Amino acid sequence: MRIHRFMFKHYLLFAPIIAIALSLGCKSTKKREPGENYALVNFFIEQNNDGTKYSKLVSIYPSDPELFYVNSKPFLDTADLERVTLMDATGGFALQFQFNRHGTAVLESYTTSSKGKRMAIFCQFTDSRMIAAPMITTRKTTGIIRFTPDCTREEAEQIVKGLTNAIKEIKKNS
């Protein structure tokens, strides 16, 4: 009996310390700055409609919609990006995505085995939609893709800023 009472007393001594430590630990979540926005991007590969949950119908270019099926699991995402750049291009602007080492290897693998298919690029920023679906014509070994997005220049600037913030946050937490 004495042993149990003795252990119980120690428990009571440590209970306030544990409660204080837990309450201090909960305040570690950093609040975002008012102007700090994030964007996310996912890359999907075109596939035939196989009637399973692994294929989903997507639409690109709302003014003149093109419908096609993609694999429901993205093969690349924001965590695979190294840098995003908005570039001037003939007749407008383009987005350039540079992938990290893992992203470069996956991109090379998919572009080698999927020639003639489209790569659907889905972006979540202030709006969530497909921003491009470039046709895969060559193997991408450099880890860089450049495309003209289906968005305004202002939206493209938001995407670049949001993805840059997300990439920094991902690098900081890994």
Kindly report, residue by residue over 136-163, the tens digit of the pLDDT.
999 999 999 999 999 999 999 999 999 9
Residue 16: per-residue pLDDT: 43
Say what the pLDDT of residue 30 is.
Answer: 52
Beta bridge pairs of residue 124: 40, 128
Q: What is the pLDDT of residue 169?
A: 94
Q: Which structure tokens are listed for 174?
A: 């890994």
For the chain, the structural domain boundaries read: 40-173
Mean pLDDT over all residues of the chain? 84
Three-state SS for 63? coil
CATH of 40-173, one of 1.10.3210.10, 1.25.40.10, 3.30.1360.200, 3.40.50.1360: 3.30.1360.200
Nearest to 117 by CA among 58, 51, 158: 58
Place of tokens 């924001």: 78
Choose between 88 and 4: higher pLDDT. 88
pLDDT in tens, 56-102: 999 998 888 899 999 999 999 999 999 999 999 888 999 999 999 99
Reported as a pLDDT band with limits 50, 70 and 90, residue 3 is low
Mean pLDDT of 101-127: 95
